[in-house]
Structures are given as C-alpha cells and as structure tokens.
C-alpha cells in the first residue's frame, strides 16, 4: 500500500488491528444480545425494576470507547449497558446485577441504572440525567493532579444537554483544560421530548463554542466516524489541551423504558432507523474490507450468543443478597 492509499483508507483500518476490530464487532453483538435478553427477562417477570435499552446505539458505545486505553475511565448513564460492555465488562456480572444478585457488579444493590465496573474504568451508570457529567470532570481533575495520564470519557444523552450540570461542567473542564471527552449520544429524544422541542440549536455540538472547546457532530452509527472523532479528542485530552464535545447521532429502537407507548414518534421513523442497523453496517464494512469473512462474522455472533446464555445461567444460579447485610457499605467499615 502506498502512503496515499493508506491516507484514503477508512480511519478504523488505519488505527486498529483486525483482532481489535473483530472484538469491536463482538462487543456490539454482546450489547444487542444483552439488551434483548434483558427485555425478555423483563417480559417473563424476572426483573422488578425498569430498564433503558440501548438497542440501535451499539456502534456509538463501542466506537466511542475504542480509542480509550484500558486504564482510561468512563461515566455512563441510565442507558448504560452498552457503555459497560464497550469498556470491557464481564457479562455474567452484569446480568447478575440486573437480576439483583450478590455476584453482580454492585452486589445487587445498584441494578441496571447503577452498573459500574471500577476495575475496567467504568465509574458507573447514573440514574440522574447529567448526574455523571460533573463526576467525569472530577475524575479528569484527579487525572491531571495525580498525573495518571488517564482520559475520562463522559457519556450523556441529548436530553442531558439542557441540565445546568452540563453547562457548569463543560465550563469548568474548559477553564481548567481537563482531559475529558464529552460524548453526547443524540438519539433524537429525551424520553418523549424531541431535540427540536428541547434544544434550539441545530447541533448540540454547536454548544461547544460556548465553552471555547472543539465540538463536532458525527454519525454515531458509523464506526469510522465516531472512532475518528473520539480519537482526535482523546489525543487532544491526553496532550493536556483540554476537553472536547462530540455529538454522536444515533437512535434507540425501543421505547425510552418499559412504560413507553411511543406516542411521540412514528412507526415509519423507527422502521427507517431499524433498516439501517449499525451492527449490520459495521459487519458489512469489515467483510468488504476483508477484515473477516462472512463466516467468521457469524461465528463471532454465535459465540456472543453463547456467552450471553452462560452469563444468564450464572446470574440465575447466583445467590440473592442477605437481608441481614442491608446496612453493609452505607459507610466504609473501619478497623476500630
């Protein structure tokens, strides 16, 4: 390949090894299947809370985390299963948490909305819209002060961009040039409220200008676009040049949560987006560019399916927390 050809090559192919790309595909499948199984568990009455599924947003989650080092950190949202998988979580412990089991990531105390994976750098989903944004900035402050070199990637939704916490956090991250990448996953709705009805600017990314930081809107369902944009922001953050705002345009196929009657959008709209499945798109891309064969792709998918089934079995077999432990971890136990 000539230098010239390499430059015209899609970003992901220049930056990631085939194994990394296969792993990305694997993670997308895991997310889709995790969500599908979660939904199914809910239907069958195995779950007593609600859940926020990210089906349709798999590429955004995986692509955004792709440029991160293992030691980098993320903060996530109520719609956080995908982010968690993308950052390398163990599916078994995720299901166990979802089922409220002692073997879960939060020992059954947090559930779907609070899954975290500290070892892998996922500082946690958050039940409060925009609640994780200042926390991400705080983690970036730790990185800068403690000189750990970590970059923090902060996920939030389009709805979150109208919270005061968004404004205050982006402002301070900019004032202090902190190593944080803000990824706003714009799936067109905050619950039932469309971006048009909540946010008067054309692109949420345009708001970056109010903080004098770079802002870019990209197709979050296009693996090359999202990885390239995040990569640039990560490089910038790592170099001490401060934060960036990336708007990842995507779509959620399912309702906001289980109580959603989908009255605020049309079937047609949903169908159009479903017909542009981001996982299919990524798989085709990989096959087209001979990163893998169609057969290999199928194997990845079926392995993912197996992983999911094993994880569910593990979770189901796991013990519930003991009621007598209810007060554990409210405070840190200290040697007397």
Ligand X SMILES: Cc1ncc(C[n+]2csc(CCOP(=O)(O)OP(=O)(O)O)c2C)c(N)n1
Q: Residue 197's binding partner, choosing from ligand X, Mg ion, a copy of itself, none, with beta-carbon cut-off 5 to 8 A by kind?
A: a copy of itself
Which among 306, 258, 320, 310 is positioned nearest to 42, based on CA atoms?
258
- Paired tokens of 77: 């949202």
Which among 138, 200, 160, 199 is positioned nearest to 79, based on CA atoms?
160
128 binds a copy of itself (CB under 8 A): no
Question: Is residue 322 packed enough to be buried (19+ CB in 10 Å), middle (13-18) or exposed (0-12)?
Answer: exposed
Residue whose C-beta lies closest to Mg ion: 157
In this structure, are residues 28 and 279 in contact, taking their beta carbons and an 8 Å threshold? yes
Q: Which of residues 175-214 bind other proteins (CB under 8 A)?
A: 175-176, 190-193, 197-199
Q: Which of residues 239-278 bind ligand X (CB under 6 A)?
A: 256
Q: How far is the CB of 35 from Mg ion (least distance, A)?
A: 16
- Tell me which of 35, 72, 158, 307 binds Mg ion, using CB under 5 A: 158
- Tell me which of 43, 69, 128, 274 binds other proteins, using CB under 8 A: 128
Cα-Cα end-to-end distance for the chain: 66
- Tell me which of 106, 229, 279, 308 binds other proteins, using CB under 8 A: 106
- Tell me which of 43, 118, 119, 201 binds a copy of itself, using CB under 8 A: 201
305 binds other proteins (CB under 8 A): no
Q: Which of residues 36-65 bind other proteins (CB under 8 A)?
A: 47-50
Q: Which of residues 25-54 bind ligand X (CB under 6 A)?
A: 52
Q: Which of residues 174-193 bind a copy of itself (CB under 8 A)?
A: 174-175
SS3 of 78-143: the string is CCCHHHHHHCCCCHHHHHHHHCCCCCCCCCCCCCHHHCCEHHHCECCCCCCCCCHHHHHHHHHHHH
In this structure, are residues 114 and 333 in contact, taking their beta carbons and an 8 Å threshold? no
129 binds ligand X (CB under 6 A): yes
Eight-class DSSP state of 250 = -
187 binds ligand X (CB under 6 A): yes
DSSP characters over 47-68 = --S-----TT-HHHHHHHHTTS
Q: How far is the CB of 156 from ligand X (least distance, A)?
A: 6
- Paired tokens of 317: 């077999």
* Closer Cβ to ligand X, 88 or 127, answer by number: 127
166 binds ligand X (CB under 6 A): no
Interface ranges with ligand X (CB under 6 A): 52, 78-79, 127-129, 156-160, 187, 189-191, 256
């Amino acid at each position: 390949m000539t230098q010239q050809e390499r430059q015209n090559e899609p970003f992901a192919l220049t930056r990631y090894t085939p194994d990394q790309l296969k792993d990305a595909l694997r993670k997308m499948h895991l997310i889709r299947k995790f969500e599908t199984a979660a939904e199914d568990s809910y239907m069958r009455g195995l779950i007593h809370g609600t859940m926020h599924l990210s089906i349709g947003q798999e590429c955004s989650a995986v692509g955004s985390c792709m440029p991160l080092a293992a030691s980098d950190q993320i903060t996530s949202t109520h719609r956080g299963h995908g982010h968690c998988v993308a950052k390398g979580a163990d599916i078994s412990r995720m299901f166990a948490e979802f089922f409220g089991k002692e073997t879960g990531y939060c020992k059954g105390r947090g559930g779907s909305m609070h899954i975290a994976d500290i070892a892998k750098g996922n500082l946690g989903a958050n039940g409060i819209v925009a609640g994780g944004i200042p926390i991400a900035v705080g983690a970036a402050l730790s990185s800068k002060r403690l000189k750990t070199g970590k970059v923090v990637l902060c996920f939030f939704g389009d709805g979150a961009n109208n919270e005061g916490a968004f404004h205050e956090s982006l402002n301070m991250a900019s004032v202090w040039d902190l190593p944080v990448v803000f990824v706003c996953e714009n799936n067109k709705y905050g619950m039932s409220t469309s971006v048009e009805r909540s946010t008067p600017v054309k692109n949420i990314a345009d708001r970056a200008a109010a903080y004098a930081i770079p802002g870019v809107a990209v197709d979050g369902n296009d693996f090359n676009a999202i990885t390239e944009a995040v990569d640039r922001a990560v490089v910038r953050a790592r170099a001490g040049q401060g934060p960036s705002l990336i708007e990842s345009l995507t779509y959620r196929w399912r309702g906001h949560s289980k109580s959603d009657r989908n009255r605020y959008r049309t079937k047609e709209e949903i169908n159009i987006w479903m017909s542009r499945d981001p996982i299919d798109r990524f798989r085709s891309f990989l096959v087209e560019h001979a990163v893998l064969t169609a057969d290999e792709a199928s194997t990845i998918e079926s392995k993912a399916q197996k992983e999911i089934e094993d994880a569910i079995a593990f979770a189901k077999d796991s013990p519930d927390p003991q009621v007598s432990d209810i007060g554990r971890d409210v405070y840190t136990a200290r040697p007397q």
